[in-house]
Structure 1
Amino acid sequence: MVAEGRQRIDKWLFFSRAVKSRSLAAKLVVAGRVRINRDKAAQASDLVKPGDVLTITLDRRIFVWKVLGAGARRGPSEEARTLYQDMSPPPAPKGDAPPDAIAALREAGSGRPTKKERRQTDRLRDED
């Protein structure tokens, strides 16, 4: 019996569009990649309620979501966004290098040959 306003974590992850299917949500929970209020969710049947804070690890990203309500269906993304409040830290900028980083230098002519150089090599081999 499910208490009012509570929902299984695997269903909630599916309805909030964090994962593509309930089976993937269950695997994510069992693998220990979901935390409910800083405690690891042990089973896919663990319940979440409004006010809980979920920490979800997907690939190389970490999401921190506050549950705002239980879902009724897997609807459009606008409807899914009403189920949570995103409290994730901003991602690190990808293009910015640390200020003390030195740009990689490569001597001209080192590395793979260019297309022009390959054609010249092929011509030399064909002349023999």
Structure 2
Amino acid sequence: METPETMRVDRWLWVSRLVKTRALGAEAVKAGRVKINDQPVKPSKEVRPGDRLELRNGELRISVVVRGIVRMRGSARVASVLYDETEESRELRERLSAERRLAAQQQLPGGGARPTKRDRRRFEAAREERWRG
């Protein structure tokens, strides 16, 4: 079985597991959140090994270098060898993840533990008060 030399960018995003579905990959490309070699592209744009691809999703910017192309979507292990994430992208992703964890811990009483029955009652009482006016 031979491996293709090029593949549509929307399909490659799906095969490489950077997006959950091919439709989400096409939507991201159409919305202008995907660039290849710093150029905005259409879903039909062909991706080749060596291309630099940038995917924006909210604050997160994933920047990868395409290393390979496979015909069919496989396991996460197979997908991980299809690209190399840049160091800046990896650092940004890890920093944003740490910030989200910290924010979630600060929102919950007890530094990240589940709300107690007392906490839940207080939340419900405050919500009812706000609803009444």
What displacement does 1:71 show?
A: 2.1
Distance 1:21 1:55 in 2: 17
The amino acid that maps onto 2:10 is D
How high is the TM-score relative to the length of structure 2?
0.65
Distance 1:58 1:79 in 2: 23
Q: Which residue of 2 aligns with 1:76?
A: 75
Unaligned residue ranges in structure 1 (runs of 5+): 96-113, 119-128
Moved more, 15-24 or 85-94: 85-94
1:49 aligns with 2:48: yes
Distance 1:59 1:16 in 2: 20
SS in 1 for 2:26: helix
> Runs ≥4 in structure 1, deviation > 6 angstroms?
none
Distance 1:39 1:73 in 2: 26
Identity %: 34
1:90 aligns with 2:77: no
What displacement does 1:82 show?
A: 0.8
How high is the TM-score relative to the length of structure 1?
0.67
Moved more, 52-61 or 85-94: 85-94
Distance 1:68 1:89 in 2: 17
SS in 1 for 2:81: helix
Distance 1:21 1:67 in 2: 19
Distance 1:5 1:69 in 2: 8
Distance 2:81 2:58 in 1: 23
Q: Which structure dedicates a bigger proportion of its chain to helix? A: 2
Distance 1:6 1:73 in 2: 13
What displacement does 1:60 show?
A: 2.4
Unaligned residue ranges in structure 2 (runs of 5+): 103-120, 126-133
The amino acid that maps onto 2:75 is P
What displacement does 1:83 show?
A: 0.5
Q: Deviations over 1:22-48 (max 9, x none)?
A: 11111100000000000011x110011
